[in-house]
Structure 1
Amino acid sequence: MKVLMGCMPKHDVWAAGLWLKVFLLIVVLGAGALLYEQHGAFAIGVLLVGGVLWVALSPKAAIDVHARRNDNLIDFARQFDVRVVNAWVVRSTYEQLELWLGFPVHPSDRLRSDLKLSAADVGEIVLQVLFRVERFRPESWLIEAKTVRELIVFINTLPKRKP
């Protein structure tokens, strides 16, 4: 995910909201009720197609939050090589993401699809982590991170703030 800081993310036009799902359900149920009196098999087919559409449009739970309730920073940090990545960067990023999301993260979590973070959210999190670890933010920079691990490596590569 390449994000130019200061630019708004594109709006997802095809994102199906709750109102669209309710509308589709009402249309399918109405058509099914009208057609059931004359052609029961056709109405059942329409209802099945409506059910498939409902399932296809419903968001999938990407992360089981309850399974992660015992995860902690120590287990998270063990998945990084401390000779390559600064421990303060790992800790600050983990704490900031946990504060932002409300549940523990894993290094393999995808920022966009699993954690449902927008480009603006990722930019804000990066700025807060940079402030905590005293790293310098260049004038123009791109965040090319797709996972939490890539985000930590990206933050670690930024230069330290000069005193």
Structure 2
Amino acid sequence: MKLASRFMPQYKPKKANKIALFVFLVLVVAIAIFQPVSLAVISGIVLLVIVWSKFEQPKIDRYFGALRDERNGLSICEFAKEFDTRVVDTWIIRAVYEQLQAALPVNHKIPIKASDNLLETLKLDEDDLDLDLVEEIAQRTGRSLENCEDNPYYGKVITAKSLVLFFNHQLVANAT
């Protein structure tokens, strides 16, 4: 019998390769020494991003604060009720719910609804979905990302519910 989803392992980020970090630092120093103009341009861009984020973050905090207040009292239970747990793996339901919460650009937990649009409602970046979030959910659920083009939900994941259903159609990693 499979363990309850509350006992599912947490996401464990892969450790950075020390050689890659060393190479990156050597490149930064080389640019600083041999291309001071490039360093000034890069520093200017970094400074602009920092200043822009200081003005943008309060708007994001207000948006998600209002969303949290609107959803006061909702939990993973309401999210899970949107799925037939005899058909959909409860580990996938929990992993999607928790990793979506962790991916939001705020420090507090926002209750997720199955109908939430990942890009519009949750304001997630498409690249973050494709690169980070999918890997995290796959790791936690033990699902493979191989042959995802054969999945009926491939290219159609726009809501939290469709993300759950996408992973439910992926094979368990050991079974591939």
Q: What TM-score comes out, normalization by structure 2 length?
A: 0.54
**Number of residue pairs matched by the alignment:** 108
Distance 2:170 2:147 in 1: 12
- Whether 1:105 and 2:112 are equivalent positions in the alignment is yes
How much does 1:150 deviate? 0.6
SS of equivalent to 1:99: helix
Which residue does the alignment assign to 2:169? 157
The residue that corresponds to 1:75 in the other structure is 78
Could you tell me whether the CA contact under 8 Å between 1:92 and 1:132 is conserved in 2? yes
Which protein is richer in helix relative to its size? Answer: 2
Classify the secondary structure of the residue corresponding to 1:110: coil
Q: Decide which moves more: 69-78 or 103-112.
A: 69-78
Which structure 1 residue ranges, 4+ long, deviate > 3 Å from structure 2?
139-143
Cα pair 1:143 1:154 within 8 Å, conserved: no
Is residue 131 of structure 1 aligned with residue 139 of structure 2?
yes
Q: Which has the larger radius of gyration?
A: 1
Helix, strand or coil for the counterpart of 2:174? Answer: coil
Please point out which of 136, 148, 156 is paired with 1:144. Answer: 156
The answer on 1:64 being equivalent to 2:71 is no
Q: When the two structures are superposed, what TM-score results if normalisation uses the length of structure 1?
A: 0.58
Identity of aligned residues (%): 29
Q: Partner amino acid for 1:151?
A: L
Structure 1 position 139, deviation (Å): 5.8
Give the gaps of 5 or more residues in structure 1. 1-18, 20-57
Q: Which amino acid aligns with 2:118?
A: L
Give the C-alpha shift of residue 117 in structure 1: 1.1
1:21-69: CA deviation from partner (whole Å, max 9, x where unpaired): xxxxxxxxxxxxxxxxxxxxxxxxxxxxxxxxxxxxx99x596221223
Of 97, 113, 119, the residue aligned with 2:126 is: 119
